[in-house]
Amino acid sequence: MRHFLDINKTDPSELRSIIDRAAAMKTARNGRPKGTPDDDQPLAGRMVALIFEKPSTRTRVSFDVGVRQMGGQTMVLSGSEMQLGHGETIADTARVLSRYVDLIMIRTFEEQTLLEMAEYATVPVINGLTNRSHPCQIMADVMTFEEHRGPIRGRKVVWSGDGNNVCGSFIHAAGQFGFDLTFTGPETLDPEAGFVDEARAKGSNIVIERDPARAVQGADLVVTDTWVSMHDPQSARERRHNQLRGYQVNSALMEQAKDDALFMHCLPAHRDDEATSEVMDGPHSVIFDEAENRLHAQKAIMRWCLGV
Ligand code: CP
Ligand code: NVA
């Protein structure tokens, strides 16, 4: 059984096959209406549970639409309305859900919840974001980069801002897909050292550079994310804004990157905080392609998990 828990836990050749299939499935739909089924119906007769312990727009809708396009059915569950949110163990929840559904996607807080779900479920489990990582997002981002610019191997990606969960999965991807990544942000918000060490051990050049203008020199891709994540206490908001203001992605910063550099943001964004609207809506930006590619990448991830 194949769980999709993290990019660094999935073999590079499997990751590549998922991206290739996502691209092929996207092409096969060839702009047909969103509500129409795919020609292939690999999820026919299958039921997928989508569990959310945090808010979501993209993950929720893209998984739901993706399952339906492939002929399956979904149930969207909010953690607080399940017994899970009222003291039932994750292990028991996993064992029960496995009797009803064929696949579980969960967005949660602690990574331990995801890992326990995967340990006790007898069906595949997909990570739809934890406090530590967001692998589905970065699969879509790699797909998006390659769609616009060709192979990501050997390219320079710059992450500006908070070394958060999305940044963590980008660092995992650097190791697995063989690109280089420069992190620029304040020391207190550095990405996890273990993630950095692991990507370096796989041959990726991971650089920490405090000066954002220097960091983005020669960048093929500049990425940022919200300064305050869903798991961060709101009380940290003002301090983080003060710490991160200098790492805003604006036109002046993008000018330091390569002329054809792309700009990405997983969304939702706080416009004119972490990135200006000028950049988000400007010529480098591929933010809505990223959002669309969540759909295609996750369809390929679900097929991989189910072996269909
Ligand atoms: N990027 C992303 O995961 O968005 P949602 O929080 O809307 O799902
Ligand atoms: N870092 C953000 C990503 C949202 C998709 C968060 O965890 O809130």
Residue 85 is predicted with a pLDDT of 83
Q: Per-residue DSSP letters for 13-63?
A: HHHHHHHHHHHHHHHHHTT--TTSPPS--TTTT-EEEEEESS--SHHHHHH
Known catalytic residue at 266:
yes
**Cα 162 to middle of ligand 2, angstroms:** 11
Could you report the per-residue pLDDT of 109-152, keeping only the tens digit for each?
999 999 999 999 999 999 999 999 999 999 999 999 999 999 99
- Residue 230 sits at φ, ψ, to 5 deg, of -60, -30
| 137 tagged catalytic | yes
pLDDT digits (tens, 9 = 90+) for 187-243: 999 999 999 999 999 999 999 999 999 999 999 999 999 999 999 999 999 999 999
Q: Which residue, by CA, sits nearest to atom 6 of ligand 2?
A: 229
Query: Cα(253) to centroid of ligand 1, in Å?
Result: 25
- E strand or H helix at 164: none
pLDDT of res. 30: 86
Give the separation between CA 103 and CA 117, rounded to whole angstroms.
11
Which residue carries 């929720």 as its tokens? Answer: 60
pTM, two decimals, is 0.98
CA distance 152 to 162: 23
Confidence label for 31 from pLDDT (cuts 50, 70 and 90): confident
Among the bound ligands, the one closest to the CA of 228: 2
